[in-house]
């Protein structure tokens, strides 16, 4: 048996097949957009793209971590909102900027810990828990903002606003920070044992536990991470746009959810990467940007997002059926129970 | 001994056992009714505004409309699936009926077309779940967004326009001086009682929910029944949507928002389970009533009305936690 | 060298035993899985454990691996008495029959999992792949260590999983049916891997149904039967016949079933023609005549389990045909097959048992709800009467037809399932593990019911991993091996030896 070992390609060995595909689609989308809409390459539009990308990417990093272990968190949008408000309220109360910043983060970490406790400790369905928390948090936001005007808190000390306004060579510092975070997490995933353990755990929970990986512990801290990152995005976003109101992060959970699925995550867990999260976020953000540039009404955007989600879930289901060895006729055939002679 | 004598003998000791068990038809109806009555009594004693006929009437009216939507929803849960698109379908059907009426259609064709659209959505939900073996929680979040978008398209087209006068009066139709929806609710509860007690279909649904592999081996057409349940869920949500559209008189993008979670909570309180095999329409009705009383009580006690969302979220988590822990203990 | 091994092992005294079981017993409820089992495994040998289904192999392995504690007796590792907890944490590594791999991770990562080489807190990727490549080369595998596991063949995946156990530096490796999903070539590679491991100083406990493999590779062979220790043989001039005789014990003589010759004229009620399912079974042919009981026997991994599900449309086969009374079935779904007069019992109660929250009467009537209904409403009186009838007919011990199945013993639960299966008055009956996990009395009653159905002219197809059951029940037995039909035995030729020779044999 002296035949040579068949070497495999870089993309395959790094399991970036779907990520590359998504990046390709993103590039295609960008090229098409620049032709269809001249406003796309306008500096203002590019700047607003960066502003939209940064928080989405930060939240998606947390979500993708959960996807890897086969979980997800639908409370991220609301957490983002309430953390911004928490920081703003702290600033309003005259607390120094670092303390206000931490207050926002702590709020998210606390909510993440609650999610983690319910899911990892009590074993409650993560979709129900995080949806319930989404509702509860939105309720708290309404209560907190009930005396405020629609724009919410708008006056912040300059040092706080500076966090959001900082630029390097014309590129938003927030965006650079989000990219840096993405790189750090990608290295964590690829180069460290705890990072790999996420994928082991998601890929085969029983086998992973048998090799000594702590399932509940990991699950708990992943939810804390997700809450903390959503809070970070919320506080940074508040600093960037200079206001904290009840609308921040509304509906964001679904966009991020779809971004993670498109970027290579799977509801079943065991796959995904932070580069993929970036690709997915780019796709979703560009799509939203395209809607705005082409003045597609927001309700049609929801239709498209919903349709994309249905499509992704169906494709996921078909793949699972194929893997279990079901013939194509049994999946798509008009008479799935008939067999060929 | 004749068979009938044996039957009579066999029944009695077991009845006692089942009354306290988790299974059976509506085994937690009585405690739930007692709690509901207790909450109502508490509110009646502490708040003078509660026990007025107008307040009670409006609570009951509201519950009776939501109840229409929970009919199919409960039975989807019995088959161990879930339909989170009900709130959106509810809104779409109501607004579609309204839009057609604004476009000078007459009522019945408009309502029937809208309900046919609802049935189609239900069919698609059920078909995709059955054929591709998809988690219905996931799928129906997608259809929820999609259908919500379509409903908002209709709402935008209508702007702030109110529906035709005749339609606005529709929900206020009275029969024997009682709102028609309340009468429908009472009739439906009676019907559900017979359906759950006697019908072959309901038993098959329970079999599917409890043990789908055995149900398959026993020749029960699992796919067909699941699709039927999803269609029923959409159609009953649609009927409720038509009444609601009439009640609120114009297209409102907030219509039916979060309804699905009220339904999950009410259905589980009423005896259904995320783990299938159980569900009782009478319990679901009581669950809705209990939730309505709690929310009404909050208003009476001047608790921020916006806090309702928080309460619904908390109740959702609490009931599901309870359901999960109970289910685990049963295993 | 292989020939030298037995001699070395034979001379091993207790001091040389890496593992010793002393008088180990274990019961699950009323079922005594192991009764006073004692044997010894010498350091550095390949020691095979043989036995029929239900002989107690898997319980023995679980005890050795520290997953369960025995009720009685001691387990010595390296001469010292140990607790299950210690064995679990100690240097015993077990590779289970089901693959426990991470299909989205690379080969190297699958070998090392939590023990990947690190430097300064980072994974040393170069060293990880170098060490993995070294291991793979050592065992003659030409795979890129960066390859994703799911693109490997099942055999290669199995080998990777074994290498994970090897890499863990365990001194005792337990391999439970490692070749069950593999083709001959892959199995061959695996066996040479196992030999190399032994030569490298590992001790291997090897469990397999495939006798020729055991004879090929093992130094010593311990035979278990009905939860009891039979004998430990040195693999020295013994053949398959010797092993089979010890596995099956006393000769049952000719089957007690009626002569099937008189059934040869009866019309064919059920036929399978060229049924295949990718990776599970190929080109299956089968005929069952009216009044005939045909047994299907296959060891685990033979495809018999999937075949039993496919003929009732529970998992769809990919090609072939099924005929009922000579008419091909177009819609291969359980519902329409039942409509055509077929019925199915899945006796594996863990998988598809009773509806535990529904009464016994409701359980019995589940397949015939429509017949007991008028205008969609169930006639509760008829349901109860029907249940009463079956409770009497099958002597089900139950408080009443409205009792819940939880109150019933396993045997009585099984009888409720049999009642439900026969409720439709089917012409063709498929029984899949009809008596799994039930006591002797209930077993005899279920068999009696099956014979009664056959006497009425029904066609019965019985799948069972319990070979004596098939020998007692069936007119003839069809045997599956390696996802194909291996042969058929009927009448006086039906002995455990003959069946096992086909199911586990060499060719």
User: What pLDDT is attached to residue C506?
Assistant: 56
What residues in C contact A7, CB-CB < 8 Å? Answer: 144
Do C161 and C216 belong together in one domain?
yes
Do C282 and C256 belong together in one domain?
yes
- What's the gap in Å between the CA of A308 and the closest CA on chain C? 25
Confidence band, pLDDT 50/70/90 cuts, at residue C152: confident
3-state secondary structure of C83: coil
Q: Does A127 touch chain B (CB under 8 A)?
A: yes
Q: What is the pLDDT of residues A299-338, one digit of tens each?
A: 888 898 889 889 888 887 887 777 766 777 777 777 777 7
Q: Which CATH number applies to A45-324: 1.10.150, 1.10.10, 2.40.50, 1.10.3470? A: 1.10.3470
Hey, which of A77-91, A131-145, C11-25, C227-241 has the most confident mean pLDDT? A77-91
Contact yes or no for B219 and C355 at CB 8 A: no
> What b-and-e string marks burial along C288-301, b requiring 16 or more CB atoms within 10 Å of the CB?
bbbbbbbbbbbbeb
What's the average model confidence in pLDDT over C462-469? 84
- What's the gap in Å between the CA of C412 and the closest CA on chain B? 17
User: What pLDDT is attached to residue A68?
Assistant: 93
Q: What is the pLDDT of residues C423-461, one digit of tens each?
A: 888 999 999 888 876 766 778 888 888 988 888 889 999
- What's the gap in Å between the CA of A180 and the closest CA on chain C? 19
Q: Which residue of B has its CA nearest to C400?
A: B10
Do C217 and C357 belong together in one domain?
no
Residue C6, pLDDT above cutoff 50:
no
Q: How far apart are CA B315 and CA C268, in angstroms?
A: 61
pTM of the full structure? 0.79
Centre a 10 Å sphere on the Cβ of residue A235 and count the other Cβ atoms it contains.
30
From the candidates B81, B134, B222, B268, which should be mutated to test the interface with A, based on the most A CB atoms within 10 A? B134
Residues of A numbered 83-122 whose beta carbons fall under 8 angstroms of chain B's beta carbons: which are they?
118, 122
Mean pLDDT for all residues in chain A: 86
Q: Is C262 exposed, middle or buried (0-12, 13-18, 19+ CB in 10 A)?
A: exposed
Q: Is B138 exposed, middle or buried (0-12, 13-18, 19+ CB in 10 A)?
A: buried
The DSSP element (H or E) to which A298 belongs, if any, is helix A298-323
Confidence band, pLDDT 50/70/90 cuts, at residue C10: very low
Contact yes or no for A337 and C122 at CB 8 A: no
User: What pLDDT is attached to residue B330?
Assistant: 64
Confidence band, pLDDT 50/70/90 cuts, at residue C495: confident
Q: Which residue of C has its CA nearest to A340?
A: C319
Q: Does B20 touch chain C (CB under 8 A)?
A: no
Confidence band, pLDDT 50/70/90 cuts, at residue C262: low
Q: What is the pLDDT of residues A10-20, one digit of tens each?
A: 777 777 877 88
Q: Which residue of C has its CA nearest to A201?
A: C102
- Contact call for residues A63 and A260 (beta carbons, < 8 A): yes
What's the average model confidence in pLDDT over A281-290? 90
From the candidates B130, B131, B136, which should be mutated to test the interface with A, based on the most A CB atoms within 10 A? B131
**Phi/psi at A310 (nearest 5 deg)?**
-60, -45
| Closest residue by Cα to residue B277 from B23, B19, B3 | B23
Q: Look up residue A163 and give its two tokens.
A: 């966090």
Q: Which residue, of C390, C410, C425, is where some domain finishes?
A: C425
From the candidates B306, B308, B319, B329, which should be mutated to test the interface with A, based on the most A CB atoms within 10 A? B306
| Closest residue by Cα to residue A53 from A183, A176, A186 | A176
3-state secondary structure of B46: helix
- Contact call for residues A153 and A85 (beta carbons, < 8 A): yes
What's the average model confidence in pLDDT over C157-182? 82
- What's the gap in Å between the CA of B1 and the closest CA on chain A? 47
CB proximity list for A327: less than 8 A, separation 6 or greater = C278, C316, C318
3-state secondary structure of C413: helix
Residue A120, pLDDT above cutoff 60:
yes
> What b-and-e string marks burial along C415-451, b requiring 16 or more CB atoms within 10 Å of the CB?
bbbbbbbbbbebbbbbbbbbbbbbbeebbebbbebbb
| Closest residue by Cα to residue C308 from C292, C299, C320, C296 | C296
User: What pLDDT is attached to residue C104?
Assistant: 85
Cα radius of gyration rounded to whole Å, chain B: 21
What residues in A contact C97, CB-CB < 8 Å? Answer: none
Instruction: Name the least confident of C22-26, C48-52, C242-246.
Output: C242-246
Match 């080998």 to its residue by tokens. Answer: C159
Q: What is the pLDDT of residues C57-111, one digit of tens each?
A: 888 888 888 888 888 888 888 878 887 777 776 778 888 877 788 888 889 999 9
Contact yes or no for A15 and C332 at CB 8 A: no
User: What pLDDT is attached to residue A316?
Assistant: 78
From the candidates A139, A284, A297, A322, which should be mutated to test the interface with B, based on the most B CB atoms within 10 A? A139
Confidence band, pLDDT 50/70/90 cuts, at residue C36: confident
CATH code of the domain in which C66 resides: 3.40.50.300
User: What pLDDT is attached to residue C183?
Assistant: 66
Q: How far apart are CA B118 and CA C228, in angstroms?
A: 64
Residues of C numbered 337-356 whose beta carbons fall under 8 angstroms of chain B's beta carbons: which are they?
337-339, 344-346, 351-356
Q: What is the pLDDT of residues B72-108, one digit of tens each?
A: 999 999 999 999 999 999 999 999 999 998 888 888 9
Do C170 and C141 belong together in one domain?
yes
What's the average model confidence in pLDDT over C184-205? 84
Question: What Å distances lie between residue B150 and A302, B240, C407, CA to CA?
Answer: 8, 18, 52
User: What pLDDT is attached to residue B92?
Assistant: 94
Confidence band, pLDDT 50/70/90 cuts, at residue C351: low
Match 């957009």 to its residue by tokens. Answer: A33
- Contact call for residues C157 and C101 (beta carbons, < 8 A): yes
Residue A223, pLDDT above cutoff 90:
yes
The DSSP element (H or E) to which C274 belongs, if any, is strand C268-277
User: What pLDDT is attached to residue B67?
Assistant: 92
- What's the gap in Å between the CA of A221 and the closest CA on chain B? 20
Q: Does B152 touch chain A (CB under 8 A)?
A: yes
Contact yes or no for C144 and A204 at CB 8 A: no
Q: What is the pLDDT of residues A43-67, one digit of tens each?
A: 888 888 888 899 999 999 999 999 9
Q: Does A135 touch chain B (CB under 8 A)?
A: yes
How many Cβ contacts (< 8 angstroms) between chains A and B?
141
What's the average model confidence in pLDDT over C332-356? 84
Q: Closest to C357 (Cβ–Cβ): which among B23, B200, B218?
A: B23
Q: pLDDT under 70 in chain B at which residues? A: 1-27, 305, 329-331
Higher per-residue pLDDT: C252 or A265: A265
From the candidates B2, B3, B7, which should be mutated to test the interface with C, based on the most C CB atoms within 10 A? B7
Contact yes or no for A254 and B145 at CB 8 A: yes
Contact yes or no for A339 and C336 at CB 8 A: no
Q: What percent of chain A has pLDDT over 90?
A: 36
Higher per-residue pLDDT: C129 or C494: C129
Do C417 and C448 belong together in one domain?
no
Contact yes or no for B313 and A143 at CB 8 A: no
- What's the gap in Å between the CA of C360 and the closest CA on chain B? 11
What's the average model confidence in pLDDT over A226-232? 96
User: What pLDDT is attached to residue B1?
Assistant: 35
Contact yes or no for B203 and C369 at CB 8 A: yes
Q: Which residue, of C196, C220, C248, is where some domain finishes?
A: C248
Do C39 and C143 belong together in one domain?
yes
Do C235 and C266 belong together in one domain?
no
Q: What is the pLDDT of residues A152-162, one digit of tens each?
A: 777 788 888 88
User: What pLDDT is attached to residue C350?
Assistant: 65
Q: Does A336 touch chain C (CB under 8 A)?
A: yes
Contact yes or no for B14 and C404 at CB 8 A: yes
Q: How far apart are CA B147 and CA B95, in angstroms?
A: 12
Q: Does A220 touch chain C (CB under 8 A)?
A: no
Q: Does A29 touch chain B (CB under 8 A)?
A: no
Do C274 and C404 belong together in one domain?
no
Q: Which residue of B has its CA nearest to C309?
A: B217
From the candidates B6, B10, B273, which should be mutated to test the interface with C, based on the most C CB atoms within 10 A? B10
Confidence band, pLDDT 50/70/90 cuts, at residue C186: confident
Q: Does A138 touch chain C (CB under 8 A)?
A: no
* All domains of chain B in start order, with CATH: 52-326 (1.10.3470)
User: What pLDDT is attached to residue A181?
Assistant: 94
Q: Is C134 exposed, middle or buried (0-12, 13-18, 19+ CB in 10 A)?
A: exposed
Q: How far apart are CA A66 and CA B181, in angstroms?
A: 45
Do C298 and C375 belong together in one domain?
no
Cα radius of gyration rounded to whole Å, chain A: 21
Number of continuous H segments (helices) and E segments (strands) in chain B: 14, 2
Do C75 and C113 belong together in one domain?
yes
Do C263 and C224 belong together in one domain?
no
- What's the gap in Å between the CA of B273 and the closest CA on chain C? 13
Question: What Å distances lie between residue C139 and C176, C196, C268, CA to CA?
Answer: 19, 8, 51
Domain ranges of chain A: 45-324
Q: Which residue of C has its CA nearest to B224?
A: C335
Question: What Å distances lie between residue B316 and A125, B65, B66, CA to CA?
Answer: 12, 20, 17
Look at chain C and report how many structural domains it folds into.
Answer: 3
Give all chains having 3 or more CB-to-CB distances under 8 Å with chain A. Answer: B, C
Q: How far apart are CA B253 and CA B242, in angstroms?
A: 15
Q: Is C86 exposed, middle or buried (0-12, 13-18, 19+ CB in 10 A)?
A: middle
Q: Look up residue B237 and give its two tokens.
A: 């949500």
Contact yes or no for A339 and C319 at CB 8 A: yes
- Contact call for residues B311 and A130 (beta carbons, < 8 A): no
Do C360 and C461 belong together in one domain?
no
Q: What is the pLDDT of residues A20-33, one digit of tens each?
A: 888 998 999 899 98
What's the average model confidence in pLDDT over C135-142? 80
Which residues are bridge partners to C19 per DSSP?
Answer: C41, C77
Q: Does A72 touch chain C (CB under 8 A)?
A: no
Q: What percent of chain C has pLDDT over 90?
A: 8
- Contact call for residues B269 and B323 (beta carbons, < 8 A): no
Confidence band, pLDDT 50/70/90 cuts, at residue C261: low
Domain, as residue range, for C285: 251-341+427-507
What's the average model confidence in pLDDT over C310-334? 87
Q: What is the pLDDT of residues A171-198, one digit of tens each?
A: 888 899 999 999 999 999 988 989 999 9
């Amino acid at each position: 048996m002296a035949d040579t070992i068949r070497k495999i390609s870089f993309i395959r060995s790094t399991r970036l097949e779907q990520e590359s595909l998504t990046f390709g689609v993103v590039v295609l989308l960008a090229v098409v957009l620049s032709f269809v809409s001249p406003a796309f390459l306008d500096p203002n539009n590019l700047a607003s793209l960066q502003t939209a990308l940064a928080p989405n990417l930060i939240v998606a990093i947390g979500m993708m971590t959960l996807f890897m272990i086969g979980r997800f968190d639908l409370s991220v949008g609301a957490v983002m909102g309430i953390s911004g408000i928490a920081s703003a309220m702290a600033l309003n109360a005259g607390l120094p900027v670092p303390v206000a910043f931490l207050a926002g983060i702590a709020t998210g970490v606390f909510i993440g810990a609650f999610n983690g406790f319910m899911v990892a400790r009590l074993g409650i369905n993560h979709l129900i828990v995080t949806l319930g928390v989404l509702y509860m948090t939105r309720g708290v936001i309404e209560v907190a903002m009930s005396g405020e005007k629609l724009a919410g808190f708008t006056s912040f000390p300059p040092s706080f606003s500076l966090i959001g306004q900082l630029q390097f060579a014309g590129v938003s510092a927030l965006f650079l920070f989000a990219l840096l975070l993405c790189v750090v997490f990608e290295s964590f995933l690829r180069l460290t044992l705890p990072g790999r353990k996420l994928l082991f755990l998601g890929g085969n929970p029983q086998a992973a536990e048998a090799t000594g990986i702590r399932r509940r512990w990991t699950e708990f801290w992943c939810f804390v991470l997700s809450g903390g990152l959503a809070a970070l995005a919320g506080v940074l976003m508040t600093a960037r746009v200079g206001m904290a109101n009840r609308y921040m992060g509304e509906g964001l959970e679904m966009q991020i959810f779809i971004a993670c699925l498109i970027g290579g995550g799977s509801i079943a867990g065991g796959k995904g990467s932070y580069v993929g999260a970036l690709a997915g976020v780019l796709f979703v953000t560009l799509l939203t940007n395209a809607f705005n540039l082409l003045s597609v009404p927001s309700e049609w955007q929801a239709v498209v997002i919903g349709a994309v989600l249905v499509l992704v879930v169906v494709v996921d289901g078909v793949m699972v059926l194929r893997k279990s060895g079901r013939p194509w006729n049994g999946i798509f055939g008009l008479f799935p129970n008939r067999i060929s002679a | 001994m004749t068979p009938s004598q044996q039957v009579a003998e066999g029944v009695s000791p077991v009845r006692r056992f089942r009354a306290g068990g988790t299974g059976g038809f509506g085994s937690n109806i009585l405690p739930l009714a007692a709690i509901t009555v207790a909450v109502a009594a508490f509110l009646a004693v502490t708040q003078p505004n509660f026990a007025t006929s107008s307040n009670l009437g409006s609570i009951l009216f509201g519950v009776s409309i939501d109840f229409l939507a929970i009919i199919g929803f409960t039975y989807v849960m019995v088959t161990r699936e879930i339909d989170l698109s009900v709130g959106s379908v509810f809104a779409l059907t109501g607004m579609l009926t309204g839009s057609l009426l604004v476009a000078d259609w007459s009522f019945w064709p408009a309502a029937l077309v809208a309900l046919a659209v609802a049935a189609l959505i239900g069919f698609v939900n059920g078909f995709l779940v059955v054929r591709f073996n998809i988690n219905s929680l996931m799928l129906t979040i997608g259809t929820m967004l999609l259908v919500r978008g379509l409903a908002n398209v209709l709402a935008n087209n209508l702007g702030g326009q109110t529906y035709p006068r005749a339609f606005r009066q529709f929900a206020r139709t009275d029969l024997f001086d009682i709102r028609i929806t309340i009468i429908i609710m009472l009739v439906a509860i009676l019907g559900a009682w017979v359906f759950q007690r006697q019908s072959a279909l309901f038993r098959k649904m329970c079999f599917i929910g409890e043990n789908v592999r055995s149900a398959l081996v026993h020749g029960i057409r699992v796919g067909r029944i699941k699709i039927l349940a999803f269609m029923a869920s959409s159609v009953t949500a649609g009927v409720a949507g038509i009444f609601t559209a009439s009640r609120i008189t114009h297209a409102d993008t907030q219509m039916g928002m979060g309804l699905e979670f009220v339904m999950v909570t009410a259905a589980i309180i009423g005896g259904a389970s995320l783990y299938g095999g159980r569900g009782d329409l009478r319990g679901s009705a009581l669950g809705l009533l209990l939730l309505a009383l709690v929310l009404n009580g909050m208003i009476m006690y001047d608790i921020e009305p916006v806090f309702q969302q928080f309460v619904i979220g908390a109740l959702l988590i609490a009931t599901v936690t309870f359901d999960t822990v109970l289910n685990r203990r049963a295993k | 060298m292989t020939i030298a091994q037995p001699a070395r092992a034979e001379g091993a005294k207790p001091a040389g035993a890496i593992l010793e079981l002393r008088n180990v017993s274990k019961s699950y409820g009323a079922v005594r899985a192991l009764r006073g089992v004692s044997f010894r495994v010498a350091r550095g040998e390949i020691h095979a454990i043989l036995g029929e289904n239900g002989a107690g192999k898997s319980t023995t392995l679980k005890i050795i691996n520290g997953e369960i504690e025995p009720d009685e007796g001691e387990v010595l590792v390296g001469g010292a008495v140990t607790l299950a907890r210690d064995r679990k944490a100690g240097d015993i590594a077990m590779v289970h029959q089901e693959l426990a791999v991470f299909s989205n991770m690379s080969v190297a990562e699958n070998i090392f999992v939590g023990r990947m080489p690190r430097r300064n807190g980072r994974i040393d990727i170069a060293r990880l792949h170098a060490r993995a490549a070294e291991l793979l080369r050592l065992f003659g595998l030409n795979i890129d260590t960066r390859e994703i596991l799911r693109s490997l063949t099942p055999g290669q995946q199995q080998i990777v999983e074994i290498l994970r156990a090897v890499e863990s530096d365990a001194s005792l490796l337990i391999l439970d049916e490692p070749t069950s999903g593999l083709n001959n070539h892959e199995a061959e590679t695996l066996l040479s891997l196992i030999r190399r491991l032994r030569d490298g100083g590992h001790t291997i406990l090897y469990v397999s149904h495939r006798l020729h493999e055991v004879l090929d590779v093992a130094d010593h062979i311990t035979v278990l039967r009905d939860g009891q220790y039979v004998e430990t043989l040195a693999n020295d001039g013994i053949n398959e016949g010797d092993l089979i005789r010890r596995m099956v014990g006393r000769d049952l003589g000719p089957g007690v079933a009626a002569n099937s010759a008189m059934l040869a004229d009866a019309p064919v009620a059920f036929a399978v023609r060229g049924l295949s399912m990718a990776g599970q079974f190929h080109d299956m042919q089968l005929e069952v005549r009216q009044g005939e009981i045909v047994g299907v026997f296959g060891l685990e991994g033979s495809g018999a389990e999937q075949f039993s599900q496919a003929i009732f449309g529970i998992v769809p086969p990919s090609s072939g045909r099924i005929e009922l009374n000579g008419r091909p079935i177009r819609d291969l779904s359980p519902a329409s097959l039942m409509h055509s007069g077929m019925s199915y019992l899945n006796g594996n109660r863990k998988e598809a048992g009773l509806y535990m929250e529904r009464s016994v009467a409701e359980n019995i009537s589940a397949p015939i709800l429509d017949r007991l209904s008028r205008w969609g409403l169930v006639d509760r009186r008829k349901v109860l009467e029907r249940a009463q009838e079956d409770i009497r007919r099958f002597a089900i011990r139950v408080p009443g037809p409205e009792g819940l199945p939880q109150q019933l013993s396993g045997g009585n639960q099984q009888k409720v399932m049999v009642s439900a299966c026969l409720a439709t008055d089917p012409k063709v009956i498929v029984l899949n593990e009809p008596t799994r996990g039930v006591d002797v009395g209930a077993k005899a009653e279920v068999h009696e019911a099956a014979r009664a159905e056959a006497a009425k002219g029904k066609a019965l197809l019985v799948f069972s991993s319990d070979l004596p059951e098939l020998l007692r029940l069936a007119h003839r037995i069809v045997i599956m091996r390696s996802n194909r039909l291996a042969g058929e035995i009927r009448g006086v030729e039906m002995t455990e030896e003959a069946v096992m020779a086909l199911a586990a044999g060499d060719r």
